[in-house]
Structure 1
Amino acid sequence: MQRRVFRKLPIKEDLLFTYEPVMHFLDVRDSRYLSVREETSFLSKVAPSLVFYPQLISVVYQAAAKAKNGSYSENDWALDSLRVLRLLEKAGLQFSISGLQNLEKLDGPCVFIGNHMSIMETLILPVIIVPYTKVTFVVKESLLDYPVFKYVMRSRNPVAVTRTNPRQDLKKVMSEGVDRLQNGISVIVFPQTTRSTTFDPLQFGSIGTKLAGRADVPIIPMALKTDAWRNGKFTKDLGKLCPEIPVKTAFGEPLRVSGKGAEQHQQVADFIQSKLQEWK
């Protein structure tokens, strides 16, 4: 039983029975995951957002309740991330996740550096990455005060930055980010000032590369196309779901920082830009 589950979702042994009751596993083949198109309900076809959001809110409330009383583990986080991914698939979204062989090469923590399109990344990356390494995020301070979800995010011990004071943010990431990495926790960094459906290398900061260099850990480039989850008009995180737009995630080869890291920073930007162009 354990071997069968492990083949379908390469996760740590201590996660196996946590994932067992979900019944749907990420069927990773040749280091790649592709959604299997399934029949969706009539309501999901005509109003996917209307069906999805009440279910998402239920997952978040249950997670927050555990986190608030201090019983929300990394296993729980990954499991809830899997639930969100499955809910998105049931709403009609199709996922393609590639480059997982590069995560298999890790023998310790790393810095994941990627572009940032929507809140979807924050919700689905845990189930993709946690099977390979413990992980947390560099996030905006405001996310730690977000209604309900704040308890979940705080439980992950993220590095919180202002996004308004680059000097202060750099100092904090270099201090707290290195601390996380030295304790075996990988760090996800989105070096853009805000979410964007386009990628501008000139607006792509080098804070992630500097962190990896300071901590002497590898970088994993990460290209993300999650614009199937639109930004909302009134509440940014609650936008329209567009099942006709495929969701794409790709992980690049691990990179070791040399010198000031300018070459590696350019390699990460080139990887993201090339993938987004390919997917376009």
Structure 2
Amino acid sequence: MSIVLAIRIFLFYILLGGSALLWCSLSFFVAPFQSFEARYRFINVNWCRFAVKLTEVLLGIRYEVQGAENVPTQPCVILSKHQSTWETFFLSCYFAPLSQVLKRELLYVPFFGWAMAMLKPIAIDRNNPKAALKELAKQGHERLQQNIWVLIFPEGTRVPAGQIGKFSRGGTALAVNANLPVLPIAHNAGEFWPKQGWWKTPGTIQVVIGPAMFAEGTGPRAIAELNERAFNWVEKTQREIGALYGDNPISETPVQL
């Protein structure tokens, strides 16, 4: 373990936490007087860019993006691999404005939750899966109609590097019902920012944006087929960037919303 890197990681968390508290507190007093687009950029884009840059400067974790030309002009449903916290920061500022699924209880956290509530998140009760699916469908459709990107982590939770979780169909159902495509994203952020622990490893994250995928038809069968197609693309791309290990890397972690 490098002592210098350990010090850098400690400093990183101090600056990240301090900046989040400061920025959320400031946003609480400034953002209510802004339009949603300006508010989103003020709260989320600016701070998430700071977080990504801080990760690069202090931790030596950089990134490269492939497939930027695949991003459609109209916001749609993003289906992203989930391995770490890094992709949450990155995607929140790369696609703007963006709405993502989060636990409803987070909105009650002083300042942080209040600031998040002003960004039109899809807040769900994870203790009630059936109600959560209904909220995802209802709020997600509303966000898409408002030209807001909807970010779904179809694995439901962060899956350790080298593995991939089964995809829930909530994201593809949302896209099919809105007659919009899904945009699959693969990456290997977990190699450098692991799911567990505080240690970070310098390196370059590979982010690959796939082609926008439309359903072939409507109804449950079309939803299932599109979901399988998106999963297959992500799995194949994860292998290509060296982010899947072994012959059977599918995680047994149960899918959550």
The TM-score range, normalised by the shorter chain, is 0.7 to 0.9
The CA deviation at 1:221 is 0.6
Match of 1:277 in 2: 239
- Bigger Cα displacement from structure 2, 160-169 vs 261-270: 160-169
The CA deviation at 1:148 is 4.5
Match of 1:36 in 2: none
Match of 2:63 in 1: 95
| 2:106 counterpart SS class | helix
Q: Is the 8 A contact 1:67 1:151 kept in 2?
A: no
Match of 1:75 in 2: 41
1:229 equivalent to 2:189? Answer no
Match of 1:61 in 2: 21
In structure 2, do the counterparts of structure 1 residues 55 and 190 end up closer, same or farther at CA, with 3 Å as the change threshold?
same
Q: Distance in 2 between matches of 1:86 and 1:195?
A: 22
Q: Distance in 1 between matches of 2:206 and 2:115?
A: 25
Alignment of 1:77-226 (within 5 A): 77-90=44-57, 91-103=59-71, 106-130=72-96, 134-146=97-109, 148-197=111-160, 198-201=162-165, 203-226=166-189
The CA deviation at 1:178 is 0.4
Match of 1:14 in 2: none
TM-score by length of 2: 0.80
Q: Is the 8 A contact 2:95 2:149 kept in 1?
A: no
- Unmatched segments (≥5 aa) in structure 1: 1-41, 234-238
Q: Is the 8 A contact 1:114 1:190 kept in 2?
A: yes
Match of 2:245 in 1: none
Q: Distance in 1 between matches of 2:188 and 2:169?
A: 20
- Unmatched segments (≥5 aa) in structure 2: 33-38, 243-257
The CA deviation at 1:257 is 2.0
Match of 2:35 in 1: none
Superposed CA deviations along residues 108-152 of structure 1, whole A, max 9, x for unmatched, are: 22000112112222222122222xxx2111122243345653233
TM-score by length of 1: 0.74
In structure 2, do the counterparts of structure 1 residues 56 and 191 end up closer, same or farther at CA, with 3 Å as the change threshold?
same
1:268 equivalent to 2:230? Answer yes
Identity %: 24
The CA deviation at 1:160 is 1.4
Q: Distance in 2 between matches of 1:146 and 1:162?
A: 15
In structure 2, do the counterparts of structure 1 residues 95 and 67 end up closer, same or farther at CA, with 3 Å as the change threshold?
same
Q: Distance in 1 between matches of 2:164 and 2:93?
A: 28
Give the root-mean-square deviation of aligned CA atoms. 2.2
The CA deviation at 1:62 is 2.4
Q: Distance in 2 between matches of 1:135 and 1:44?
A: 36
The CA deviation at 1:225 is 2.0
Q: Is the 8 A contact 2:65 2:206 kept in 1?
A: yes
In structure 2, do the counterparts of structure 1 residues 65 and 167 end up closer, same or farther at CA, with 3 Å as the change threshold?
same
Q: Is the 8 A contact 2:167 2:227 kept in 1?
A: no
| 2:61 counterpart SS class | coil
Greater relative contact order (Cα < 8 A, sep 6+): 2
